[in-house]
Chains A and B, each alone.
Chain A
Amino acid sequence: MLQNKSFVKRTRGGKITKVVREHYLRHDIYCGAPICKVCDTSQARLSPTPSTILIFDTNVVLNQIDLLENPAIDDVVVLSIVLEEVKNRNLSVYNRVRALCSNSLRKFFVFSNEHHKDTYVTEMSGESKNDRNDRAIRVAAQWYQSHLAGSARILLITNDKENKRKAIEEGISAETVESYVRSLSRPDLLDLLVQPASEDVNMEEVEDLRPSKRKIIYTEHKPMSEITSGLHRGIYHQGKLRVNRYNPFEAYVGSESIGDEIIIYGRTNMNRAFDGDIVAVELLPQDQWHEEKSLALADEEDEEEDVHLVPGSADDAPWTTAQPPGSAGVTESISSRPSGRVVGIIKRNWHSYCGSLEPMAMPAGSGGVAHALFASKDRRIPKIRIHTRQLENLLDKRIVVAVDSWDRLSRYPSGHYVRTIGQIGDRDTETEVVLIENDINTRPFSSQVLACLPPLPWSVSSEDLANSIRQDLRQLRVFSVDPPGCKDIDDALQCTSLPNGNYEVGVHIADVTNFVHSDTPLDDEASQRGTSVYLVERRIDMLPKPLTEDVCSLRADVERLAFSVIWEMTPEAEIISTRYTKSVIKSCAALSYIEAQARMDDSRLMDPLTTDLRNMNALAKIMRERRIQRGALTLASAEVKFQIDTETHDPLDIGMYQIREANQMVEEFMLAANVSVAEKILKHFPLCSLLRRHPTPTREMLEPLLRTAAAVGLNLDVSSSKALADSLDSAVADDPYFNKLIRILATRCMTQAVYFSSGDLSPPEYLHYGLAAPLYTHFTSPIRRYADVIVHRLLAASLGIQKLPAIFQDGTRLTSIADNLNYRHRNAQMASRASVELHTLIFFRKRPTDTEARIVRIRSNGFFVFVPKYGIEGPVYLTPRGDKEGGEWFVDEQQQKIRKMDGSMSYSVLQTVFIHLEIVEPQPNRPKLQLTLV
């Protein structure tokens, strides 16, 4: 079975070393064609009667991956040498090819030609690595040809002329991608083709004969060797480029070598870098550091929706992208901030982008190839040039486009069309765009995942009751309080008076880990999804629907399994003892917040349930008070609530989300349960617990808040969370909304709370700043958050009920899980925000409104306002478009005011203004919400 052996020499690092690796050649690698009589066909992937078996060479796979993903291409043999090269060149393409190969619907077979005894080729002297690999591809193609001897046509697809010539000489049929796709007579596939870069240049010259267009727009990227040595000598600085969300012409590179962020102004200095690319930056001479201003509201001609809604709940403090664009005092400080230009791109972050084509006239000779500009929904991405043969179809569509190249001669990168999502402005299309942009998996659960579900209909079995680890708590008066219409009820409460005057307070959480076992497909899927995503009109579940809405959901009047945290509390809400147990409960009522509130408020009701509610509320108030005493921040968010038409799913009304005492009561007990569980698991697993922390904001992060506060004569103490909480409390004015506004602004200055593995950080860093809790984790929502599932397992293991799954032994795995959870969590938040934004747009489409707004940030040509009623934030321009520096308006940084030159008018921060909200369509199919002063 084993054959030996060939040697590979390799040099690496500065020193030259000879590396000898074994390379076994095998007999037992099969061709993957079911028609084959010689090979073992159990692993065969190709179709039973393939007419043509395709073999692609490396460059074709690298460039035409979008084509390969199209179902029209099938019966493909992917050679391992091709895979390996693709992996070295572009990991994301590699992952996509791998996904294709493992997709059971597609007939892609991986042939390990490098380890097959007949298709392995040794490097000949004087042969370059590429030539050798090309030869290996040809040898493999030839092997297939003779192996399947006539029962199928083997077609080698290569765009390399030399390779194709040699292949044909050797008797292999070979074609270029284009000619093959043409032969399929599917014009839509041609759009998926990537135009080779060299042709691009030619085309440019042919197309635009104007001399101005032909000139070199961008400076050349430095070769890698020069960059490496430059980085070494400290001339260049490496970092990830982040483009300003509000101004795509401004980007930041966080550099460790400088310890500060380098600002990059303008596309020329960005030099073809995309958001997220790892770039090498050269600092500009100091005298050029303030040549451009970041003060203006971004308004290039591609200004788009600038509506930015404010982030969610208090726990999930917002995620500040880059530095908020310069504010007061910028003129002085800006010169001290280093600015630079990109000299080279170390690692591209190209992927595919959602967006639409720039409106353009149909070219005269339609039917042929048209060139169009694609504008991504993400404003940080420059426009992308694409070729298309179906322009008329695409103009009013949301499409996905991938970037292929960006050469020095063209202002915009070139890419190719990948697929169409749907009509622009259509709610479903736009929702889909939101989901794609946030990398949210909406595919239905696979059959393997569904196979892990318990048999349905499920009910508590006698084994569950007999299980000694499970306590029978069915007799307790347990109830749940959730938003109206909530189907995934993952927490329930209970409060029993004890004879000694104390209370037994229980928090019962759905026992999801009883159904989701580790290392099952269900668990893997849930860990990938990380969280359920709540959009305005739909929910994307983390767990399959039967689990989410039935088996795990702690509905009223059914027996359900739970994981309980039970405290004994004094009437002063002092916790005397805590115990944790798996249990069986039977909820007696599933209340909504409104119902619960109504019961508590209705003094005539004296039934036991209401009494429990009142007792709990009393306890919760004490706990809340104590928590605030400790320095927990009460942050405000501008969550809005839509009323959705049940038929059309269009929003009927929009309003601020109202927070009642009942909400706070439930929240308080959830926080307490989370804290208790965090302490318990950390005690048992100091190195592998999954906790949640909220880093203390730095002074710079709070700077905008302080500046705004100072402008309205408010002095905030930010020395500690306690001090901040106190000064926020004292920030009252005669205006009732003032305090909330300040809190919203404070919320924005915070960093995002994150999950982490306790082994990665030292205990002082575990702090949750916002809650002023030294330890915190998520335990209470295992149906919709995977972090809670992990914490459930940890808690069960710490009680000795279950064994700790293997992944907890693996620090790096745990860290990567935590990272994924943070990523998914953030994306879910962004998606729900974007969904809200989308629905706001739909809402105002038919309802131009006048309303009250507050100025939150001052810019040189206008200001950002916040509309409390709708939770909308948007720009208001004082000067007409294009007139950038205004002229007649000037900004008083100290006072945070914008004044007319003649002093006749001024606007200052936090001032109330009246604005008009209206949807305008400056260009067809591009609706946007426009805010104008009344």
Chain B
Amino acid sequence: MRELQLSLNQTQKVRLQRALEKLESLSSKANSNASVTVADSIPVNYEDGLLKGHGTSEFNGEVVATVCGIVERVNKLVYVRALRARYKPEVGDIIVGRVIEVAPKRWRVEINYSHDAVLMLSSMNLPDGIQRRRTALDELNMRSIFEENDVICAEVRGFQHDGLHLQARSQKYGKLGRGQLLTVPPYLVKRRKQHFHHLENYGIDLIIGCNGFIWVGEHVQVTDDMVVDQVNKSEQDDAKPDENSISPEDQGKNYTRQETRENICRAANAIRVLSTLGFNITVEVITETVDLSTSINVAIHEMLGSEFYVLVAEKESVRRSMTKKK
């Protein structure tokens, strides 16, 4: 059994237990018997044209699951949605990844998929924003765009013969700086319309990659004709209002306000807590969790203490029962 590796005292244990039980009761009605484990047979009525999808196989005329997960049925298609599995890319997914190799005309990006993804030099907008053929010079200057270990944001373009291709044809994609990368199990992230979020209250950006990589960083103004200098300028603009309140040695090009940094950490810890508890990660839940932490004055480091976990679990159970009622 999966157990939280937390040191809880007795009351916390009971509270957590109760909250989790409540969650269970809330969801149990929805799809109680849909969970299967490996080699469980899936009951199907054998009407004609049954389509066996992912996570299924056939044995002795039965449809058998090959992974642990939830049985989903869409028309004639039966498949098992694996929970804890690696990311399965779909075209158009917005993902966050990390550059692991700079290769001729391409970058290799680790995106929590079973293979590394490829971002072609030709599939991304050049910093100068001009649409043109990529020259040899561009190729030589690839490292000035992304280097190894840079965290980038991109979109899944599709499968080609040599693997999964990404594209970054908008200014909102590209290199991410001054923030934290968090990895959560991909099943906790739902595909939505919007994956880029600007939490204005906290002055941070939140990119919830479909692959379970979540970026929490300082807010960046996105303009289509943005150039490197402008980015710097805007950062400086952001920094200016508080210039007097901070010490001179922290001033510099890459300066981020302490408050923003704290907010980044707070949001990051909120995500950590949520992912440890195995709760769905959406921008609403994240902001609520962050709000909860600030409202009860929990210090950032205490957010990873057991008490906060229990609080979040309780809060989540309340929240879900509310949405349920609606």
Direct A–B contact in the complex, CB atoms closer than 8 angstroms = no
Question: Interface of A with B (CB < 8 Å)?
Answer: none
